[in-house]
Chain A
Amino acid sequence: MQPRVVTLNVNGRQHRVALAPNVTLLQALRDLGYTDVKSGCEKGDCGACAVLLDGKAINSCLVLAWQAEGAEIVTDAGLGTMDNPHPIQEAFADAGAAQCGYCTPGMIISAKVLLDRNLHPTEDEIREAISGNLCRCTGYGQIIKAIQMAAERMQDAGSRMQEAGSKETGGER
C-alpha cells in the first residue's frame, strides 16, 4: 500500500505527514521530533513509548500511525516544560523517581491516566497502573512515592482552587 497523508494532532500541534501504512505511531512521533517518546522494545513489553491517545494511555509502538489520525495525542513533553512542569513531572523530579530517566516519560503518562480518574490511589492501585512500564533503575519505590506526592499536591491544588472559586463567588454576589 502507498503512503498517504494523515493528520496527527500532537501536544496541540497539527501535523500533516505522508506515512506508509506500516509506520507505528512511535516511529511517526519520533520522526516528527517528539523524541521524549522512548523506544525500548517496539513490541509492547516495556511501556517506554506510552502516550495519551484521546486521554487513554497506549503503547505507541503497538498502534499504527494511521489509526491515530484525528485523535488527540499527548506525550510527556506535552504535559509540561522545564519552566512550567506538570505536578506529576515536578513530583517525579522531587522524589528521585527518575534515575536514568528513560522509562520516565512513559511512566508519567501512566501516572497521569491514573490520577485523572483517581486522586486518592492506594499503593496497590499505583502498582497496577504502572505495571506495564518497566524500570530497571529504581525498584519502583521512588516512582510510587512520586505518584503519591503528585496526588497529594494535586488534591491540595484542587481544594485551593475550589476555595478560591467559592470566595470569588461569595465576594461577587
Chain B
Amino acid sequence: MKYKAKPLPPVELPELRIVGKPLRRVDALGKTVGATVYAGDFSMPNMLYAKVFRSSEPSARIKWLDVSRARELPGVACVLTAEDLPDARLVTDMPGQTGQKRRAGSDAPVLAADRVRFAGEPIALVAAERLDIAERALELIEIEYEPLPGVFDPLEALKPGAPVVYEPDNIVARWKIRKGDVEAGFAVADTIVENTFRVPFVDHVYLEPEAGVAWVDERNVINIRVCTQVVEHFRSIARAVGVPHNKIHIQGTMLGGGFGGKEDITVEIFLALLTKHTRRPVRLAYTREESIQAHSKRHPFIITHRTGVKKNGRITAAEIRMVSNSGAYPYLSPYVLLYATGASCGPYRVDNLHVDSVSVATNNPFTSAFRGFGAAQAAVAYEQQMDEIAKALNLDPLEVRRVNYMKTGSRNATGQEIKSAIWLEETATRVLEALGEKTPDHGAIKVGQGFASYMQSYGRITWFHDTSRAWVGVELDGSVVIRCGVPDLGAGQVNSLCQIGAEVLGVGLEDMTIYSTDSALTPLAGTTTATRQLYMSGNAVFQAASRVREVLLDRASKYFEEAPEDLDMADGKVFVKLPPPAPPTRRGEGEPEKSLPLSELAAMCAAEGLPLSNLYLFRAPFTAALDPENLQGDVFPDFTFGAHAVEVAVDTETGEITLLKSVACHDVGRAINPAAVEGQIQGGSAQGLGYALMEEVQVKDGVIQTPSLSEYLIPTSRDVPITKAIILESGTGVGPFGAKGIGEPALTPAAPAVANAVANAIGVRIHDLPLTPERVLAAVDRAGGDKETG
C-alpha cells in the first residue's frame, strides 16, 4: 500500500448517552410519511394567488410600463409596480446582525422603476382570485424597453469605459492580503508555477422551489409563512414594506433544502406588500423556471495562482488574484469574496503572500451565498495548483502538501492563530488509504486518482458580533421543550439541538419537543448559514439546559442529602452515582439505589417556585473589523479540516467521466449524530461532484440558457457513487461537546479532488469546471498533440 494512515494524536472524549449516537432524527418520520407541512402546502380561506412580472432584458431602460389592462382583468385584486412602493429597497447584506459595522452597499430595488439590470429582475406584482387569472394578467402587462449596453464578462466590466451596472463603478468589493516579502520569496524559489482556474455559475436546486403565504391579522401584524434560512429578515421586510419591525412575523417552515439559496429574501417582501395592499391572504410559489431565474447563483470565479517553490515542494511565495462575478446586485458578494480571500492559499503555511481579490458587477443573474461561500471556489484553485506544483517538481502530491500543511497551532493566511486540531495529514492519508490501489486502465478508458485537502471556517465573520438564543424548559411530567429560532434546512439542525438538550437533562430523544424558526415566538437564533447553527445554537441550548440541570441537581442534592457532583441524570431520572470503584458502565445492570423520576423532581421545584427553564444568549467571539487593504487578524471562530479522494475512469474516445470511488474524511470535532454527519458528508460530496462534472448555469448575454431541470443537470442516483465517510473526532471544536461544523466543509474538497483525478487519468490539466466531455476531448487532443511534437 502506497499510503498509510497517520496515527491520530491521543484524544479523550467523555462517554455520552444521547450525543454521539446515530439516533433517528426527531423530524424523520414526519417527513417519510408525508406529514411535514412545507411552505407551499399552506392555503387559507379567501386566499389570493400571486405572480411576479419580470424583465426579459439584461440591461435596459423601462421606457414605458402600462399595467392598466392587467388591473382591469376580472379576478385581479391587485397589481403593484415601483410607483406604488416609494423607495422600497431590498437590503442585500445580512440584516439584523447586532453591531454590524460594514454594509455591503447598493441595495436592490424591490421592483425595478426605470432601469433593469438583469434578465429576471422583478418589475410588477399581481394578486388574483386564481392562479390562472394571475398568469393571464402577466400577459396583459405592457412594457417597452430601451436596451442599454450591458456588460457580462467581469474582466470586461473592469476595463475603463465599460458600461457601469450601478454607480460609481463595477467594483463591488476588494480585499487584499499583504504578508511577508513576496519578492524575496520568489527570489529564493527553485521553480515558479502559474495557473488560472475558472468555475461557473451554479444553481442550488433545492427540491422545494421558493414559496410562502402571508396574511394580515387583527393586530395589524403581517404574518408570513415561508421557507427561509433567515427569519431575522423580518427587519428588512418591515423596512421595505414601510411598517415597524414588530409588525412583521415570520413563521418559518421546514425547508425543502436551502444551501444558501434561501439565505437572501425571496418571496417575503412580495407577499407582505400584496397582503398589505389587499388585506387578504396571498400565496406565492415559484415554478422551477422562476426559481432558477429569480434566486442567486454561486459566484463564478477566475483565480490565478503564481507560486514559488523549493525543490522539496516548500512554498516560498504566492501571488493570488481572484475575480468574482457578482451579477447585477451585490447581495453577499463582498463577504463571499472575503471568505475566498481568506481561504485563497488553502491550509498551507505561506509566509510570503499577496492576495488581490475583486468582485465585479455585471448584467448577469445576481450571485450570493451557496454552500462553500467562496471558500469552495478557492479550494478548486489551490488544490489543483498543489497538484500542478507536484507535477512540476516530479513529487508525490501528498508529499508537496505534507511539507506545507498547517499544523495544530499554525496561523492561516490572515494571521489568525487556529487553536483547534488541524488534522490535515491525518485526514489525507486516510482517504488515500481507503481509496486503495488504482483500478487498471482498460483500452481507451484511463483511470485516475486524485485528492484534495481543505480548510473551511464555521461560524460567521467575528466582526458581525454573532449571537444565538435558546430557551430550554422542563415540563412537570419530565418532558422537555426547546424554543429556538433556528430554521431547519433539512441537515438536522433541530434534531442536533434536541440531542444536546436530551444529553444534558438526562432524558430520551423522544422526550424532546422543539419549537423553531419563528421570528416572534421563538428566541432569535440567527441565520442558518455559515455552518453556524450547531456551533451557535448548539452552545445556546447546551448552556440553557445546563442551567436548568443545575437547578434540578441543586434541589435533588437536598432531597438525597448528597453533593450535586455525586448526582447524575439519565433515562428520565436523577440518581446518586454509584461510588467508585464500581465503574460507571455498570449502571443499567441494576437500578441505582437512590433515584427520583424527573417528573417528581420537576414538580418539587415548581412547588417551590424554582426556575425550570432558562433563556440563554450565546455570543461568538467579537473582534474588530480588519483592514481591507491587508486582511490580517481574526476573521472566524474556528475552522474544519479534512480531505476527499476520488477515482475516476475517463473514456478518452467519448470524453465521458465515470466516478468509480469517493472517500471523504473530516475532523468534525465531535459528531452529535454520526448518521446525520454521514448524511452531510455524502450529500455535500454529491454537490461537489456535480460541481466538478456537470453543473453550470449557462448564461449568454445575461440570459440563462439552462432554464429548467431538463437543461440544468444535477447528479442522479446513476451518476455518483456513495461517498465513504470517515468521521474523525478531535473533540477540539468550539461547538458543544467539542463539535466543529460540517455542513459546508462536506462540499468543499470534492470538486478539486475530481479535477485532480481527471488530470491524473489523462495526463493534462483542464483548468475550467465543469469537466464536460467536450473539454475532456479537447484536453486529450491537446495532450496527444504535445506528445507528438514533444
Interface of A toward B, CB cutoff 8 Å: 30, 35-36, 38-43, 45-46, 48, 75-77, 79-82, 85-86, 89-90, 92-105, 108, 126-128, 130-144
Chain B residues 481-514 with CB under 8 Å of chain A are: 489-492
Interface of B toward A, CB cutoff 8 Å: 22, 24-25, 27-38, 40-41, 204-209, 254-259, 285, 287-288, 489-492, 675-676, 678-679, 682-687, 708-710, 714-718, 720, 722-723
A100-B206 in contact given A45-B709, A45-B710 (Cβ < 8 Å)? yes
Bound CA–CA A76/B38 (angstroms):
15
By the criterion CB–CB under 8 Å, are B207 and A38 in contact? yes
Chain B contacts of A92 at CB under 8 A?
28, 32
Ordered by A's residue number, 24 sampled pairs between the chains whose C-beta atoms are within 8 Å are: A39-B209, A76-B34, A82-B29, A85-B29, A85-B33, A93-B24, A93-B25, A93-B32, A95-B675, A96-B28, A96-B676, A96-B679, A101-B31, A101-B256, A101-B490, A127-B718, A131-B716, A134-B205, A134-B716, A135-B207, A136-B257, A138-B686, A140-B686, A140-B720
A136-B206 in contact given A98-B31, A101-B256, A127-B718 (Cβ < 8 Å)? yes
By the criterion CB–CB under 8 Å, are A139 and B686 in contact? yes
By the criterion CB–CB under 8 Å, are A99 and B490 in contact? yes
Q: Which residue of B lies closest to A84 (CB)?
A: B33
- How close is B494's CB to chain A, nearest CB, in angstroms? 12
Q: Which residue of B lies closest to A105 (CB)?
A: B34
Given contacts A35-B34, A100-B258, 5 further A-B contacts (CB under 8 A): A39-B209, A46-B288, A75-B34, A90-B32, A108-B32
By the criterion CB–CB under 8 Å, are B490 and A77 in contact? no
- How close is B690's CB to chain A, nearest CB, in angstroms? 9
Bound CA–CA A157/B24 (angstroms):
21
By the criterion CB–CB under 8 Å, are B29 and A89 in contact? yes
- How close is A24's CB to chain B, nearest CB, in angstroms? 12
By the criterion CB–CB under 8 Å, are A100 and B256 in contact? yes
By the criterion CB–CB under 8 Å, are A93 and B208 in contact? no
By the criterion CB–CB under 8 Å, are A144 and B722 in contact? yes
Q: Which residue of B lies closest to A46 (CB)?
A: B709
By the criterion CB–CB under 8 Å, are A35 and B717 in contact? no
- How close is B134's CB to chain A, nearest CB, in angstroms? 15
Bound CA–CA A131/B713 (angstroms):
13
Bound CA–CA A93/B200 (angstroms):
35
A99-B207 in contact given A136-B259, A139-B722 (Cβ < 8 Å)? no
Bound CA–CA A79/B33 (angstroms):
8
By the criterion CB–CB under 8 Å, are B207 and A100 in contact? yes
By the criterion CB–CB under 8 Å, are A96 and B207 in contact? no
Say what secondary structure dominates the interface of chain B: loop
By the criterion CB–CB under 8 Å, are A80 and B714 in contact? no
- How close is A79's CB to chain B, nearest CB, in angstroms? 8
Which of A45, A48, A128, A133 has the most chain B CB atoms closer than 10 A to its own CB? Answer: A45
Chain B contacts of A36 at CB under 8 A?
33-35
Bound CA–CA A48/B34 (angstroms):
12
By the criterion CB–CB under 8 Å, are B34 and A96 in contact? no
Chain B contacts of A39 at CB under 8 A?
40, 209, 285
Bound CA–CA A162/B720 (angstroms):
38
Chain A contacts of B258 at CB under 8 A?
100
Bound CA–CA A24/B256 (angstroms):
22
A136-B717 in contact given A76-B34, A89-B33, A99-B492 (Cβ < 8 Å)? no
Chain B contacts of A131 at CB under 8 A?
716-718
Taking a contact as CB atoms closer than 8 A, the residue among A94, A103, A135 that contacts B24 in the complex is A94
Chain A contacts of B491 at CB under 8 A?
99, 137
By the criterion CB–CB under 8 Å, are A142 and B679 in contact? yes
- How close is A96's CB to chain B, nearest CB, in angstroms? 4
Bound CA–CA A136/B209 (angstroms):
12
Bound CA–CA A101/B37 (angstroms):
10
By the criterion CB–CB under 8 Å, are B288 and A127 in contact? no
Q: Which residue of A lies closest to B723 (CB)?
A: A139
By the criterion CB–CB under 8 Å, are B717 and A130 in contact? yes
Chain B contacts of A76 at CB under 8 A?
32-34
By the criterion CB–CB under 8 Å, are A139 and B33 in contact? no
Q: Which residue of A lies closest to B689 (CB)?
A: A139
By the criterion CB–CB under 8 Å, are A104 and B288 in contact? no
A96-B720 in contact given A41-B709, A139-B686 (Cβ < 8 Å)? no
